[in-house]
Amino acid sequence: MRSKRTLIGKIDPQTKEPVYKDEYIERMRRAGTPIIKDNDVKRFSINDIKTSSLKEIGLTGLFDKIAKESGLIDALRASNPQYCNEIFTMAKHLAANGEPFMHCQEWVEKVEISEKIESLSSQNISKILADLSISNIEGFYQAWAKLRTEKEYLALDITSMSSYSELIEDVEWGYNRDGEDLPQVNLCMLMGETSRLPIYQTVYQGSLTDVSTLKTTLSKFDQITDGRNVLAVMDKGFYSKKNIDDLLADGKKFVIAVPFSNKFAKKQVEDCRALIDDFSNNIVIGNDTLRAITKKRKWCKKYIYTHVFYNPIKAVIDREKLYKKVTDMLTNATKQPEKFKDNKNYGQYLDIQSAADGTYNIKVKNDVVANAKKYSGWLLIISNNSKDSTEIINIYRSKDVVEKGFLKLKHSLDLDRLRVHSDTNMQSKIFICFVALILLSNIHNVMADRGLYKFYTMKQLMKVLSKRRSQKIGKETIEYPLTKEQKDIYSAFGFDMLL
C-alpha cells in the first residue's frame, strides 16, 4: 500500500533551508500554530526535520479535559500522590484500546502525555500494582464520592470475573454469571443514575451471592460518604427477607425487584390479577403502556409500598418465546433423545424416559410450562421511598447504567480475565480499570446526549480523535489542523476554544 504524501515546500539548494508553500503556511495559521513570525517563515534545519517526533494528541487531550472537569485528576492526586500520573496514564491506555498493561509503554511512546511519568514497562507496572495500598484505593473512592451529587440515586449490581490464578484468595467457585466453568471473584459496583458515572466498587469472594453482600457493601459506602443517605436501586438477585429487614432497620431507602420464586411475590400478583387490566391503572413510560397497582403494606412493624406492574405486550412476547423454546427442545429431543435425556435445561420442560425396547417416551411438562408463563409480563417492585408507581418504574429502569458499566469493564477494559497472580495486584488492576471506566462513561454520556451514536460507535469516535497529531521540530511544536469530523466531536465535548 502506497502512502499518500502532500507537498508542503522544498529545500533551497543554496541555503539548504526549507521553503514552505503559501497554502501550507496559511493552513498552519488557521490551525492556530503558524510557522510565520514577523512576516518571516520559521525555518527548520534538515537535521531538525530528520530528528522530529510525531505524537497523537487528540484522544489524550479529551481524556485530560474529562479528568480535569469531573474532578477525577484532583481525587487521584489527593489519594495517590506517589503514583497519580502513572495510574492516570494506565487508565487512559485502557480506555483508549483496552489492551493489557504489557502494551502500555508502547502506547505511551506514540501519544502526547501531559503528565511526567516513570517508565511503564511491565516490570514497573508490576511494582506499581504491588505498591498501591487498600488505603490509597479507598481514599480515592472517598474523594470521588464526595464530588457526586447529594441527591443521586445509586444503582447496585454484581458481576463475575473469571480467573485461572490459584494464588488469589478471593478466586473461588460459585455462580458464574457468564456461564463459564472457571473460578471467579465477584465485583459489586454502585453507579449514579443521574450522572451515569461509577461511584464505588468492591470485590468479594467468588462463592458469595448477591444477597449476602448487600449489607457489607452499603456499610462500606456509608464509611466513605460519611453516612450520606442514598436510594439503593437493586435487581432481584439482592432480594431476601433478611435484606429488607436490615434495610428497614438501618433506615436505608431502597427500590428492589422481587423474584417470583417466593410466595410473597406470587401473592401480590394474585391479589391484583383480576383488577390490573383496568384503564384507571394505566401508565405510559416512554413507548410502553403498562398497568400498575400500588399498595401500602406492613412489614415487621414498618411499612413498604408494593408496586405491581403488568406489561401485556411483554406477556405475549414472553409466552411466544417460551413456546418456541419448548417446541425446539421437543424437536431436538425427538431426533436425538439419547443426547438430551440428561440435559438439565431440557429436563426442566421435558420428561425423557427410555423404554425397555430401546425407544424413548418424550412428554412436555405442561404444568411447568403453564407455571412459567403465569407471571410473564409481571413485575413486582417494593420500596420504602415512594408510592408513585411511575416514579418507581422510571428509577428501576434507569439502573441499566450498572449493566452498561459492567459491559465496558469486562469487554473494553481487559477485565474479562484477571491476568494477575496476587490479591494486591488484583485489587490495584480493578481500581485502575475503575478510573478508566469513569473516562469511558463520560464519553458515553456525551455521545448519548449529543446524538453522536448516530454517526459513530465509541471505538470509531476515539479512532477519529487519535488521528490528530502534533510534530515537534527542534524546539517548536506544530499541531496538525483539525478535520471537520474532529471539529464536530470537539464541539460536542465543549472544546470551543480549539475551533
Q: Please indicate, yes or no, whether residues 350 and 421 belong to a single structural domain of this protein.
A: no
Q: Please indicate, yes or no, whether residues 218 and 360 belong to a single structural domain of this protein.
A: no
Q: What are the grid coordinates assigned to 159, written together?
A: 458481576
Would residue 473 count as lying in a domain?
no
Burial of 217 (0-12, 13-18, 19+ CB in 10 A): buried
- Per-residue burial over 151-173, b = 16 or more CB atoms within 10 Å of its CB, e = otherwise: ebbbbbbbbbbbbebeebebbee
Residue ending a domain, choose from 324, 339, 374: 374
Q: CB-side exposure of 261: number of CA atoms within 13 Å?
A: 7
Q: Please indicate, yes or no, whether residues 193 and 124 belong to a single structural domain of this protein.
A: yes
- Helical packing angle, 84-97 and 58-70, nearest 10°: 120
Q: Please indicate, yes or no, whether residues 231 and 338 belong to a single structural domain of this protein.
A: no
Q: Please indicate, yes or no, whether residues 139 and 185 belong to a single structural domain of this protein.
A: yes
Q: How many domains does the chain have?
A: 3
Eight-state DSSP code of residue 482? P
| Residues 201 and 430 sit within 8 Å (Cβ to Cβ) | yes
Q: Please indicate, yes or no, whether residues 345 and 448 belong to a single structural domain of this protein.
A: no
Q: How many Cβ atoms sit within 10 Å of the Cβ of residue 117?
A: 17
Q: Please indicate, yes or no, whether residues 105 and 189 belong to a single structural domain of this protein.
A: yes
Dist. CA 405–CA 228, nearest whole Å? 23
Q: Please indicate, yes or no, whether residues 91 and 214 belong to a single structural domain of this protein.
A: yes
Predicted TM-score (pTM) above 0.75? no
Dist. CA 470–CA 474, nearest whole Å? 13
Q: Please indicate, yes or no, whether residues 366 and 434 belong to a single structural domain of this protein.
A: no
Dist. CA 188–CA 203, nearest whole Å? 6
Would residue 405 count as lying in a domain?
yes
| Residues 176 and 157 sit within 8 Å (Cβ to Cβ) | no
Reduce the DSSP state of residue 449 to 3 states and report it.
helix
Dist. CA 139–CA 12, nearest whole Å? 60
| Run of H or E residues at 136 | helix 134-146
Would residue 178 count as lying in a domain?
yes
Would residue 281 count as lying in a domain?
no
Residues 6 or more apart in contact with residue 114 via CB below 8 angstroms: 60, 64
Eight-state DSSP code of residue 114? -
pLDDT truncated to tens, each residue of the chain (499 aa)?
455 666 777 776 666 666 777 677 666 666 555 554 444 445 555 566 666 677 888 899 999 999 999 999 999 999 999 999 999 999 999 888 877 788 888 888 888 887 788 888 888 988 998 898 888 998 998 889 888 765 667 777 666 554 434 434 444 344 444 454 445 567 777 878 778 888 887 776 544 454 566 777 777 777 777 666 677 888 887 888 988 998 898 888 888 999 998 899 999 999 999 999 999 999 988 778 999 999 999 998 899 999 999 999 999 999 999 999 999 999 999 999 999 988 988 999 999 998 888 889 999 999 999 988 899 999 999 999 888 999 899 888 877 655 666 566 555 555 544 454 567 777 888 888 889 889 988 998 898 889 998 898 888 999 999 988 887 776 777 777 888 899 999 999 988 644 4
Would residue 69 count as lying in a domain?
no
Measuring CA to CA, how many Å separate 434 from each of 141, 188, 199, 343?
Answer: 10, 12, 9, 39
- Helical packing angle, 241-249 and 210-224, nearest 10°: 20
Residue 47 belongs to domain spanning: 1-52
Would residue 423 count as lying in a domain?
yes
Q: How many Cβ atoms sit within 10 Å of the Cβ of residue 16?
A: 9
- Sequence-ordered strand ranges (E) for 235-286: 253-258, 282-285
Q: Please indicate, yes or no, whether residues 197 and 324 belong to a single structural domain of this protein.
A: no
What pLDDT score does 212 carry?
60
What pLDDT score does 147 carry?
84
Would residue 73 count as lying in a domain?
no
Q: What are the grid coordinates assigned to 285, written together?
A: 413510560
Q: Please indicate, yes or no, whether residues 48 and 86 belong to a single structural domain of this protein.
A: no
Q: What are the grid coordinates assigned to 14, written together?
A: 543554496
Q: Please indicate, yes or no, whether residues 433 and 337 belong to a single structural domain of this protein.
A: no
Would residue 24 count as lying in a domain?
yes
Q: What are the grid coordinates assigned to 388, written together?
A: 408513585
